[in-house]
Amino acid sequence: MKASKGSVRRFPSDAWYAVAHSEEVGRSPVGRVIHGTGIVLYRTAQGAVVALADRCAHRPYPLSRGEVVGDLLVSSYSGFAYGPDGRVVSVPTQEQVPVDAAVRAYPAAEYAGLVWVWTGNPGLAARRPLTLLPWLTEPGWTTFGADWETAASGGLLQDNFADITHVPHLHPVLSPPVLRQAPPRLHVEVSEQQVRFWRDFPATRLQTWQSEVTGLSPDAEFVQREEGFFASPGLWTDRWDVLTADGPRTMHFTHALRPVDDRRTHHYWAVSRNFAPDRETTGILRPLLEGYYRRVKDALEVMQDLIDREGPAKEVRVRADAAMLEVRRVMHRLLAEETAR
């Protein structure tokens, strides 16, 4: 194997990452892995989410194999009992708790049906609030989605989100006709920690499925707009608008990434729309979008396998890479700032 460190892009710790669906976290401990490190989740008696390091301070045994008693998490191997702050409050073999006996506690939050954990410096968590996702929380939107683990680095997923010109080649049935033409100019806006890009496609007819789900005429031509947003290392959103006289038919795509390790990424995706809330429309869209994301998953795993086998190589750049390159620069800068701290 010729893989080198240069073939994998690390993810910063100073970021919010979605680690579970809210309904997955209850009064029984749940284990997750992020950045190669275990985290255990559970709820207190009042329903608050607790996130602790998933390793007993006494012996190398996962706390996620323990049980919740009141608000305490008790190791099923050592019997050490941990409070929501990670401190050991009782030891079964002695009255005195050893000084500094504790595991790390992580800032945790619930939003948009997901549990988010801040894995870096806890003092920075409040200064970088979660990105608002109103299409997942407000009325007027219909959403479906899924999640799975992709055997590829999170950087490869980010590269994929930043350039949709591959869609006609990867899934021709899904691709709107405008993507089969030379793409118009891509506008890219960069801030210290985020990247936003957009472009307007000239008026053309809709793909068959687009006309069917939006109720728009298959013979009419519509301007369409693509928008992408690198919100944070663990969150990416996209938007696709079909512009009409009575307002856009909009589809929002949400991607929450959890880097399990350098070569495995948990991917939660959701598709939200502001039109046709009926189940029949979902029945048309779900197989199309899920089929596309599974093709992306397969393609990225092939890429990762090639990188692992042959190592990194010089890549030819084209204009469509503009947003991808800016995302890479922001990721590099976030990692550099974190290392400096």
How is the chain split into domains, by residue range? 8-127, 134-340
Q: For the stretch 154-192, what's the b/e string if a residue is b when 16 or more beta carbons lie within 10 angstroms of its beta carbon?
A: bbbbbbbbbbbbbbbeebeebbbebbeeebeebebeeee
- Output the average pLDDT for the chain: 94
- C-alpha span between 47 and 68 (Å, rounded): 12
List residues bridging with 273 in a β-sheet: 142, 251
Residue 27 has pLDDT above 90, yes or no: yes
Fold of 8-127: Rieske Iron-sulfur Protein (2.102.10)
Assigned token pair, 60? 């190398």
Out of 6-20, 25-39, 70-84, 300-314, which region has the weakest mean confidence (pLDDT)?
6-20
At 284, which helix (H) or strand (E)? helix 279-310
Higher per-residue confidence, 173 vs 106: 106
pLDDT score recorded for residue 8: 57
Assigned token pair, 9? 């892009």
Residue 4 has pLDDT above 80, yes or no: no
Class level of CATH domain 134-340 = alpha beta
Residue 7 has pLDDT above 60, yes or no: no
Alpha helix stretches (DSSP H) within 49-146: 134-137
pTM for the complete prediction? Answer: 0.93
pLDDT score recorded for residue 9: 65
Residue 1 has pLDDT above 90, yes or no: no
The predicted-structure confidence for 117-169, as pLDDT tens digits, reads as follows: 999 999 999 999 999 999 999 999 999 999 999 999 999 999 999 998 888 88
The predicted-structure confidence for 63-101, as pLDDT tens digits, reads as follows: 999 999 999 999 999 999 999 999 999 999 999 999 999
Residue 5 has pLDDT above 80, yes or no: no
The predicted-structure confidence for 280-297, as pLDDT tens digits, reads as follows: 999 999 999 999 999 999
